[in-house]
Amino acid sequence: MQNMLTIISNVFRGTASKNGARAVVSTRSYADFTPQATFDIKKCELHRLDEGPPLKADLTREQGLQYYRTMQTMRRFELKADQLYKQKIIRGFCHLYDGQEACAVGIENGVTASDHLITAYRAHGYCYTRGIAVKNILAELTGRRSGVAKGKGGSMHMYAKNFYGGNGIVGAQVPLGAGVALACQYQGNNQVCVTLYGDGAANQGQVFESYNMAALWKLPCIFVCENNQYGMGTSAERASASTEYYKRGDYIPGIRVDGMDVLCVREATKFAADHCRSGKGPILMELQTYRYHGHSMSDPGVSYRTRDEIQEVRSKSDPISLLKDRLISNNMASVEELKVIDVEIRKEIEDASQFATSDPEPPLDELCNHIFYNEGPLEVRGTNPWMKLTSRS
């Protein structure tokens, strides 16, 4: 690998060249950048724990650039989904994740790829961090053949290795996650299951039933409440008698985490995973975060909160801006280098959009395929007794 980093940025000046643009080439050695730095992170609030996650987090330059690229890709992807939905190219339910990127990236870097993860219907980001290409996620949203679920699942039903969706019923993924954790315990593979839900699902009875079973059997389950402050159009304070979601497990230890700081989430997840792997049973994490869009694309998101509130969060607590400022202020990356990454991401998203709008839709004869995992052809009745379809595994 070359020992030089070449950054090209376009500087627009009226007298620069025929088209008014001039390319300025700045060459910096990798040695000019700080390879690693240690940052202070916010202390987590604890429940039934004597000690919590560390108050400092190490970050290498390579990690910082990786986190930045992943979060920025998620942000740009969701903005493209917003655009395609408004153009009526994406139909049906669509729940966007912009604003909450630090949660997904922090969690993924606190566990391993062999660990398991299940979430609710705001699932695009986790599908990406679990290894699915942007174009296949976007093709799923547009209902195309190359979609991650072959165009049949849409926004809420995407899957990957060790990732179990994408679940449309509020809170229903929580007992499923406890079941995955039971499988990990039964197989003795030292793996954990990260089971995510939102503050809107936190009052579901099945959530508390899952707590109970997980605590009884000491399941390696990390229950994660992504508290983005609003369940649909209702604020947490109006919906819950207690908004201390990290204490909701009662007999299960809990931690409240700054969900807008990727390093804080990463360190808390590492702590939680170590807790589970040591045989201590489940743990509950509440990630305090914020979504910029409405609950879904049918929700403008400003009838129950003000535009000023949204803008204040963007200006003071945006997870991507926070990481970017850390990288630049500690000489771990340059402004020009991050701009180059931004340009690359925009091109990737545009290419994925072109793919997702030109890829063919799945044919009708594939409608009933994959009802069973490993069975021979099965006849399936259509919408009337005379319509016969076939299911193939």
pLDDT digits (tens, 9 = 90+) for 151-186: 999 999 999 999 999 999 999 999 999 999 999 999
**How large a percentage of the chain has pLDDT more than 90?**
85
CA distance 217 to 228: 30
Q: What is the mean pLDDT of residues 363-384?
A: 88
Q: Which tokens is 59 given?
A: 């970050």
**The residue type at 230:** Y
CB atoms within 10 A of CB 164: 18
Find the helix packing angle between 319-329 and 61-86, rounded to 10°. Answer: 150
Look at residue 163 and give its three-state secondary structure.
Answer: strand
pLDDT of residue 278: 98
Q: Is the pLDDT of residue 21 over 70?
A: no
Question: Length of the chain in residues, anyone?
Answer: 393
pLDDT tier, 382 (very low <50, low <70, confident <90, very high otherwise): confident
Closest by CA to 355, choosing from 96, 190, 138, 162, is 138
Strand partners, 225: 197, 286
24-33 burial code (b ≥16 CB/10 A, e <16): eeeeeeeeeb
pLDDT (tens digit per residue) in 27-44? 566 679 999 999 999 999
Summary mean pLDDT of the chain: 92
Is the C-alpha dihedral spanning 116, 118, 119, 125 positive or negative? Answer: positive
Q: Is the pLDDT of residue 347 over 90?
A: yes
The residue written with tokens 């690359």 in the block is 344
Nearest to 271 by CA among 254, 259, 288: 254
Residues 368 and 68: their CA atoms lie apart, in Å, by 40
* pTM higher than 0.85: yes
128, 149 contact by CB (below 8 A): no
Residue 109 above 60 pLDDT? Answer: yes
Say if CB 257 and CB 265 are below 8 A apart: yes
Please answer whether residues 389 and 368 qualify as being in contact, where contact means their C-beta atoms are separated by less than 8 angstroms.
yes
User: Which position has the token pair 């560390």?
Assistant: 54
**Number of helical H runs and strand E runs in the chain:** 11, 14
Question: CA 96 to CA 121: how far, in whole Å?
Answer: 9
Q: According to the model, what pLDDT value does residue 160 have?
A: 97
**Cβ pair 134, 76 in contact under 8 A:** no
Closest of 190, 191, 188 to residue 177, by C-alpha: 191
Say whether pLDDT at 4 is over 80: no
Q: How many CB atoms lie within 10 A of CB 306?
A: 9
Is residue 1 scored above 50 in pLDDT? Answer: no
265 within 8 A of 285, measured Cβ to Cβ: no
HSE (side-chain half, CA atoms, 13 Å) at 189: 14
Question: What is residue 28's predicted lDDT score, i.e. its pLDDT?
Answer: 63
Q: What is the CA radius of gyration of the chain?
A: 23
| Strand pairing report for 254-258 and 283-288 | parallel
Structure tokens at 70: 């992943």
Q: What is the pLDDT of residues 263-306, one digit of tens each?
A: 999 999 999 999 999 999 999 999 999 999 999 999 999 999 99
Query: Taking the CB of residue 35, how many other CB atoms lie within 10 A of it?
Result: 10
Cα 368 from Cα 49, distance rounded (Å): 49
Q: What is the mean pLDDT of residues 364-386?
A: 87
| Distance of alpha carbon 205 from alpha carbon 251, whole angstroms | 16
Phi, psi of 315 (to 5 degrees): -80, -25
